[in-house]
Each structure stands twice: as C-alpha cells, then as structure tokens.
Amino acid sequence: KKEHHTDQYNSDQLIIRRGQTFQIELDLSRPFNPNTDKLHLEMKTGELANTMGMTHIIIPLVDELQDESWEAKIVEQNVNRVKLSVNSPVTAVIGKYKLTITTQCLKTGETTTHDHDKDIYMLFNPWCEDDTVYMEGEKELKEYVLNDTGRIYYGTEKQIGARTWNFGQFDEGILEACLFVLDNSEVPPSGRGDPVNVVRVISAMINSPDDLGVLEGNWSGNYAGGTSPTAWSGSVEILRQYHREGGKPVKYGQCWVFSGVTTTVLRCLGIPTRSVTNFQSAHDTDVSLTTDVYFDENMEPIHHLNSDSVWNFHVWNDCWMARPDMPPGMGGWQAVDSTPQETSHGTFRCGPASLAAIRSGQVYLKFDTPFVFAEVNSDKIYWQRNLDGTFGQIHSEKKAVGHCISTKAVGSDERVDITHLYKYPEGSEEERIAVETACRYGSKPDVYSSPIAEDVRVEVMMEGEGPRMGGDAQLKIVVKNTSSQPRRTTLHSQVAVMYYTGVLKDTVKKDTLNVELNPQEGARLPYTQYQNQLVDQAALMLTLSGRVSETQQVLANQTSFRLRTPDLNIEPMGEAYVGKEMSAKITFTNPLPCTLRNVVIRVEGLGLRDLHPIRVGDVSKHANVTVTEHFIPTIAGKRKLVASLDCRQLTQVHGVADIDVHESQ
C-alpha cells in the first residue's frame, strides 16, 4: 500500500493503483512445477463482467513482465508457497474486483479454482507517467490527491470568507461509498477506465434532479426535514448516509457542498482535484455567452426577462488529466461543476471543460465550455426596451464577471488566486479576442458592433473589510466625470437582500440622487431596515442606474456585499495523545440584537471524532456561549477539529483548531 500511495485508506482490503505492479502470495497444496502445472489468475468487476469490456481479465503467467498489459510472473518459490508479481495496464478499469486463481495439472487434466474472499480495489494512478491523470510534483500530489482536509472560499470578492472542509477520502467506508455512487449511475463498468468519462459521471451523480444522486440542492431558506447547507463542514457523513440509505439523496446541499463532496470522491478514486471559487459568477441561461440585464422604457428592470444572474460566488472543481479526446494543449486542469444549474445533453452535469479552451474562448470544444466561459468571462450587457418593443444595447460592463478565482494553496492554508488560468488579464487584447471569439458561437453573435462614447463613471466603494453582521453598512457611491464639461445626472439606487445565487429576495431601500458632477456622495444603510429579511448568506445588492442629461450616456452598476459573521473560537485543552480523552473549549458571541433560537453546534475532526451535534438551545442578544467537547483522538499527526453553528437567524459561522496528536505514551 505504501508503494501504491494507498496506505492512508482506513481499510484492510488490498487497494492498488493501475499501471503499477503488486504482489500476491499463494499457499498451494504441493510445490508448483512449471513443466507439469499451469496457473492463471482471473479478475472480474461489475455484474456482467466480460473480456471485451476489460471487466473480466484473464492474467497469464509469463517469464518476463512487459509493460502495458495484465500479466503475472513467479518471483519467489519456497516449497508450497509461490510469490507472484502482477502487472496491470494504465488503461485498466477502476473499481472493485473479485479474484479467482485457477490451477491445472497437465498430466491428469484436473483443474482447481479458488475464489479469494477479499475484494481488490483498483484506482487511477497520478504517480504513473503513462496514466492520463499523471501529475508531476510530490507537493502537488500530496495536496490534490492525499490531503484529506482543505479550504473552501465564499462571500464576495471584496470580502472573501474561508471555511475548513473535511474531505475525508480515506475514512472508513468512503471508498466503498464512492464506488457505490459510480454503481448507481447508468454507466457500465467498462467505461470506468477513462477519467474524462468518470468525472462526467460523478458531476452528474453528486446532484439529484435526474438520477437520484448524492445531494438534493435547496436554495429556498427552508431546510425542514434535512440539514441546512451551511451546517455541513465535511463530506464523510453525507457519503456514508447516501450509501447506508441505499442511494437516497441527502438533504441539503448548495454549491460549496456539491464541490466539497466532488473533491472527496475524485481524490478517493485517484484523480487530482481541488475546490475552486469564482466570485461574481455569471449564470448564462440562453447560451448567448453574455450576461443580459433588461430595462423597460422608464429604466425599470424587467424581472421576468432577467433570468441571467450573477452569483456573489460559485464553487466548482478543477481536476487534472490529459485530454486525448481534444486537440493538443487542452490537457491539465479541467473545470467540473456538480451544482445542478443547466442540463448538458439532457442531464444536470457540467464538464470536464479544459481551462486552456476557456481561457482562449474556444467554446466549441467539449464538454460544456460555453457555460463555464460565461461564468468567468462574459460581458454584462444592459438592454433597454424601445417603444416598438425591440431592445437596444445601452451599456456594457466588460469586467463585471469572474473575479478572484480562488483555491487553497499547495502545502498551506493560504488562498491562491488562479484567475489567470481561466482568462487573460481583463482589458488585454487577448482577453477581448477570447470574449469576441466565444460570442460568435453564442445565440447573440452581433452584440459587439456598437461602441458608445462614455465620459462619466460610477463605482461603489466599501470601507475596510466591510460591514459586520449587527452593524451599519457604510458604502460610498463615487461618480467621476472624466470630460472637460459639467455633467448632471439623476441616479436611481435600490438595495435588495440577495441569495448568493444572485436571486433577489426583497427590496429594502429605494432612493433617487440628483448629482451635479461634484461627486463623492455616500449612502448609509442602518441595520434595522433589513435584519428580518436576511437570508443564508447575509448578502445585499446595490443597483444604480441613471442617464447623463447632456450626453444621454447610461450609467449602470450592480455591487454586492455581505455582512461578515463572527467566528467560533476553538481552544484545545492540554496535550493530545492517541487513545487518551481530551477536550476543547468552543466559544461564541451572538452579534445580533435579538435572541438566536435552537442553536446547534456541530463538531467533527478526521481522526479526532465523528460528527457530533451539540444542542445549545437559545442564545440571547449579544450573549457569550461556551461549550466543552470531549473526544478521544484515534490517529497521530496534525489534525483539524472543525465546528459550525446552525440556527435560523445566523449561518456561515464556523471555526477550526489545529491539533497535534502524539502517539500514545
């Protein structure tokens, strides 16, 4: 297992990686004589194993092992014991195999078969140069295949939040659960040698709308009958429950949960994977490859047409593989999205889409490249309805979408910005060419024909890290006149509470500002106006629109901001040893001027303790809470204890503590 990098799996089964030799020892009833005895192995995976689909393999004995095929060689013989070295090809189907050994005596023709009672698990091999998932660099492999914890980013681009996630791909029963997910799909085992295919299947099977996959999505704010998406802090319990209940979707997930579970499953199967967050993430519903905002004749938004949305943030995955099915240069990181947004060939799935293709606007390359391109690099086009019912383009924002694309750094808990892998620098000639190339393949190919002169700019500034939950939001609207003439405009502003998906819930404040262009006006929002309206992600959207009197130039801007939530503080008490009980103190202060009802703190840590909910009950306004959690560490090394708070009025409150567990004394 050490040689195959599978020693971390909490299982006593043989777990091996394809394209690499492994050893089997056989105890025979008498010494084996190669001149008078024959011996071969058979391995089968799936219900209907057959030799054509590479799911029923007959492994012959050979004198010398050649690469690239199934074969076995005797490397040691000691009386009745024979040691075999077995080779598998780098294209082998991954999954669970049954092993049968057949011996035959040439003199008597007698044949004996022995069915081995334990299964053999075959995984992808990113350490093997000829495997399509091969990744160079030990540090990268340690992070993207072997790290069982990570960080997932959320919030808004100016206020990026991070939460620790327990991937737990080596935990007991997780490999079984991941293969159960594959078995539940309609893809036969013969298709499981190709990582492109496996990733596409997993992307469909992590969500549940059309195939009873792992997680049921819920963005309604009502999570009765399930777990609130913000309350999860790991994938282990989700996958165990799905497996235990025979494939019943687990309630509930949102994008970071879908992504966290996808990272677990793909790392578990041996595909290098990371969770990635895109801020200001567009959702293009009509394949125009632009994000369209429609206004009527009076500059009021036309809600039923505004189906394209920009999510504050959206979390998906990158996984690493060669793409022999594509033109050269398209291998490497591939975007995969398991959140059910749009169907791809009739199923809710997305990817793998090559980052190289997304970056250059080659949206005709498979799979689902146009959708991911629009998420990270579509232009936001504002349209106004004319009196005859047609629409004219009045404004475009070229940098509105796809900011601060983030993932956890290799080897540390730092955030690393990978926007440059998804697109050229904003405004560069290469980036404009990519956008215009992509749009030529969209449903509105003529968008880029009418530039308009613009000499007034409007932007929204936020002080420092932005407002905290329970405090006022201080925003400054800055209007700049870059021409040499005076300018006058009337700015319409509205503030709405928003789900992180970009869907607006309620408008809480409307204003009209007459601006004689000596700008620098500020708008202040007292907390009381929207405390009852806040939803899971505590986000607000400020929309500005107006027209400059002198030039008829249209001003338009949308800015989202979130109210930052407090942390759970976790303080480990004393030294940690395997098998010895220890405790941790968890403290929290309610930031709100109201009582939190039915508060539950959920605690878990890989190698420390399984998921454990602590019922705290009601917490009065601005009150402090302290709970002590007792547990017994089971695995030595650096571990993370993660806690998250779950209650109706306050979500996205979590904390993490690093605990160094020593071997037992």
CA atoms of 520 and 503, how far apart (whole Å): 29
- pLDDT above 80: residue 325: yes
431 is in an annotated binding site: yes
CA atoms of 143 and 20, how far apart (whole Å): 21
Question: Same structural domain for residues 369 and 516?
Answer: no
Domain boundary among 74, 91, 123: 123
pLDDT in tens, 552-578: 777 777 777 777 788 899 999 999 999
Question: Same structural domain for residues 655 and 528?
Answer: no
42 is in an annotated binding site: no
Average pLDDT over residues 89-110: 93
pLDDT bin (cut points 50, 70, 90) of residue 193 is: very high
Mean of all residue pLDDT scores within the chain: 86
Residue 268: which CATH number? 3.90.260.10
Question: Same structural domain for residues 239 and 307?
Answer: yes
- Higher-confidence residue: 174 or 526? 174
Question: Same structural domain for residues 312 and 382?
Answer: yes
**What is the number of structural domains in the chain?**
4
CA atoms of 12 and 7, how far apart (whole Å): 10
CA atoms of 141 and 320, how far apart (whole Å): 11
Question: Same structural domain for residues 107 and 206?
Answer: no
Domain assignment present for 131: no
Domain assignment present for 445: no
Catalytic machinery residues? 255, 314, 337
Question: Same structural domain for residues 491 and 584?
Answer: no
Domain assignment present for 447: no
Contact in structure between 533 and 525 (CB atoms under 8 Å): no
> Cα dihedral angle (373, 376, 378, 383), rounded to 10 degrees?
130
Contact in structure between 187 and 197 (CB atoms under 8 Å): yes
At residue 457, the pLDDT reads: 80
Question: Same structural domain for residues 472 and 406?
Answer: no
At residue 256, the pLDDT reads: 96
Domain boundary among 79, 94, 123: 123
Domain assignment present for 130: no
Instruction: Please state, as a whole number, how many other Cβ atoms lie within 10 Å of the Cβ of residue 182.
Output: 20
Question: Same structural domain for residues 522 and 586?
Answer: no
At residue 518, the pLDDT reads: 61
Question: Same structural domain for residues 228 and 175?
Answer: yes
Domain assignment present for 210: yes
Average pLDDT over residues 70-95: 94
Question: Same structural domain for residues 172 and 72?
Answer: no
Helix (H) or strand (E) holding 23: strand 22-27
426 is in an annotated binding site: yes
Helix (H) or strand (E) holding 374: helix 369-377
Instruction: Please state, as a whole number, how many other Cβ atoms lie within 10 Å of the Cβ of residue 220.
Output: 11
The token pair that represents 625 in the structure block: 């809470």
Domain coverage including residue 595? 569-662
Domain assignment present for 316: yes
- pLDDT above 80: residue 96: yes
- pLDDT above 60: residue 435: yes
Residue 479: which CATH number? 2.60.40.10
pLDDT bin (cut points 50, 70, 90) of residue 523 is: very low
Distances (CA, A) of 90 to 16, 48, 68, 133: 12, 22, 7, 10
Domain assignment present for 129: no
Distances (CA, A) of 645 to 40, 497, 610: 57, 22, 16
Contact in structure between 274 and 264 (CB atoms under 8 Å): no
Question: Same structural domain for residues 436 and 383?
Answer: yes
Average pLDDT over residues 573-586: 94
Question: Which of 289-303, 535-549, 631-645 bottoms out in mean pLDDT, i.e. has the lowest?
Answer: 535-549
465 is in an annotated binding site: no
Q: For residue 579, count CB atoms less than 10 angstroms from its CB and return exposed for 0-12, middle for 13-18, buried for 19 or more.
A: exposed
Domain assignment present for 523: yes
Average pLDDT over residues 138-151: 98
Sign, CA dihedral 180-181-185-188, equals negative
Domain boundary among 522, 547, 562: 562
Give me the residue label for tokens 């949102």: 254
Question: Same structural domain for residues 414 and 463?
Answer: no
